[in-house]
């Protein structure tokens, strides 16, 4: 594998066949004589794409008939407000699990619209782990229980869906949706920005249980009101048509790769390979409790911070880009979403070993 390997956390790399398809389609999409970004969202060809996208995603994730799928804008951070507005009614209590920076932002935003109860937090240990389910405090009158399935900054991920105790379970899956099968029936709401595993920025997917559509605060804006968007087939306002188109191509690519089970196995092997190299090193270290390590975002630190600029400069010259850690945490971070091939991880491991030989 030659050329650039993109480890950016998001917007992140697209699968190479998807990029090639976009390039070929752009001048003339499906014989329309126009690119997909020039067509009306109400035109027949795009309406066919829209219905096909929803059906494909429903089939891929085995979304039950009890749940609706809506395609929105604003990114996952818009959902930090949309979730309490849609589910907490006039401001009833909502529960949140705090496992990192994105959980903390979701909590802060929700507090503007409802009473928030923090069921558990790993903040005291620097967000190195996920609090055991046995210590969570989830009052039965909570409107919902919210968690972030994968925290991209430190690299903390839930290995499985937690038990909610009968409270509607809400998950931000922006950075690990489509990375493995999930049991959608267990959730009240799943939401995810598309720019990591599903396509490009500008699209947010929300899967919402139908019986929760009538729980919104009356002042919830139409564009983020789940019931209004579900009734309008996600077109209560003009959608981000290009992002919908790219998402449809990504779903096709996942099918071509063998489906979610095959993608999940490859993601497991990629993460294990990279963590194994880090753990075997005397120069690199990962701060996350092994049981809570992310398969999507592998953070690591060098034993000597003074080497960070050299590491980043040399890695970029080697064609490995996007390895600088989040500004709030420092260190390094390799994001290895679905589109990252096994060969890309192998190139990074080879570089890590060579850099340590020369600078360790």
Predicted pLDDT at 272: 98
Instruction: Report cis status (omega within 30 of 0) of the bond before 11.
Output: yes
Please give the residue that has the higher pLDDT: either 360 or 42: 42
Measured CA to CA, the distance from residue 90 to residue 117 in angstroms comes to 16
Give the active site residue among 29, 102, 136, 244.
102
The proportion of the chain whose per-residue pLDDT surpasses 70, expressed as a percent, equals 100
Predicted pLDDT at 92: 80
Note the pLDDT tens digit of each residue in 191-211. Answer: 999 999 999 999 999 999 999
The stretch 105-132 carries a mean pLDDT of 97
Measured CA to CA, the distance from residue 189 to residue 13 in angstroms comes to 26
Predicted pLDDT at 360: 81
Burial of 42 (0-12, 13-18, 19+ CB in 10 A): exposed
Predicted pLDDT at 90: 82
pLDDT band at residue 34, thresholds of 50, 70 and 90? very high
Note the pLDDT tens digit of each residue in 243-257. Answer: 999 999 999 999 999
- Whether 136 is a known active-site residue: answer no
The proportion of the chain whose per-residue pLDDT surpasses 90, expressed as a percent, equals 97
The stretch 52-73 carries a mean pLDDT of 98
The stretch 261-265 carries a mean pLDDT of 98
pLDDT(282) > 90: yes
pLDDT(350) > 90: yes
Give the active site residue among 136, 172, 244, 270.
172
Measured CA to CA, the distance from residue 159 to residue 289 in angstroms comes to 12
pLDDT(39) > 60: yes
The stretch 143-166 carries a mean pLDDT of 97
Measured CA to CA, the distance from residue 172 to residue 149 in angstroms comes to 6
Residues in the chain, total: 360
Q: Which residues, listed in sequence order, are joined to residue 95 by a DSSP beta bridge?
A: 117, 145
- Whether 324 is a known active-site residue: answer no
The stretch 99-111 carries a mean pLDDT of 98
Note the pLDDT tens digit of each residue in 67-99. Answer: 999 999 999 999 999 999 999 988 789 999 999
Average pLDDT taken over every residue of the chain = 97
- Whether 102 is a known active-site residue: answer yes
pLDDT(1) > 60: no
pLDDT band at residue 6, thresholds of 50, 70 and 90? very high
DSSP string, 258-319: T-HHHHHHHHHHHHHHHHHHHHT-SSEE--S-GGGB-SSEEEEEESSGGGHHHHHHHHHHTT
pLDDT band at residue 156, thresholds of 50, 70 and 90? very high
pLDDT band at residue 151, thresholds of 50, 70 and 90? very high
Predicted pLDDT at 135: 97
Predicted pLDDT at 203: 97
Give the active site residue among 29, 98, 136, 196.
196
Cβ(206)–Cβ(54) under 8 Å? Answer: no
């Amino acid at each position: 594998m030659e050329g650039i390997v993109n480890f950016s956390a998001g917007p992140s790399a697209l699968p190479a066949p998807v990029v090639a398809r976009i390039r070929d389609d752009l001048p003339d999409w499906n014989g329309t004589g126009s690119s997909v970004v020039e067509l009306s969202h109400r035109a027949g060809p795009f309406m066919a794409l829209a219905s096909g996208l929803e059906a494909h995603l429903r089939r891929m994730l085995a979304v039950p008939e009890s749940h609706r799928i809506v395609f929105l804008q604003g990114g996952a951070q818009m959902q930090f407000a949309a979730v309490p507005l849609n589910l907490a009614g006039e401001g009833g209590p909502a529960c949140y699990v705090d496992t990192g920076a994105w959980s903390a932002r979701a909590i802060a935003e929700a507090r503007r619209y409802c009473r928030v109860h923090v069921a558990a937090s790993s903040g005291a240990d620097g967000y190195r782990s996920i609090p055991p389910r046995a210590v969570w405090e989830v009052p039965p009158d909570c409107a919902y229980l919210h968690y972030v399935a994968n925290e991209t900054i430190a690299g903390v991920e839930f290995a499985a869906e937690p038990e909610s105790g009968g409270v509607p379970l809400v998950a931000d899956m922006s950075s690990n949706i489509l990375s493995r099968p999930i049991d959608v029936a267990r959730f009240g709401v799943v939401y995810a920005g598309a720019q990591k595993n599903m396509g490009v920025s500008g699209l947010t997917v929300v899967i919402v249980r139908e019986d929760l559509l009538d729980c919104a605060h009356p002042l919830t804006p139409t564009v983020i009101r789940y019931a209004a968007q579900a009734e309008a087939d996600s077109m209560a306002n003009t959608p981000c048509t290009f992002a919908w188109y790219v998402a449809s191509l990504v779903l096709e690519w996942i099918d071509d790769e063998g489906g979610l089970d095959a993608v999940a196995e490859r993601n497991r092997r990629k993460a294990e390979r990279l963590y194994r190299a880090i753990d075997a090193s005397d120069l690199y270290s990962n701060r996350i409790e092994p049981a809570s390590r992310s398969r999507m975002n592998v953070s690591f630190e060098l034993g000597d911070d003074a080497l960070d600029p050299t590491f980043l400069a040399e890695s970029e010259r080697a064609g490995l880009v996007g390895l600088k850690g989040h500004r709030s945490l420092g260190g390094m971070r390799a994001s290895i979403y679905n589109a990252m091939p096994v060969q890309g991880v192998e190139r990074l491991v080879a570089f890590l070993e060579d850099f340590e030989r020369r600078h360790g």
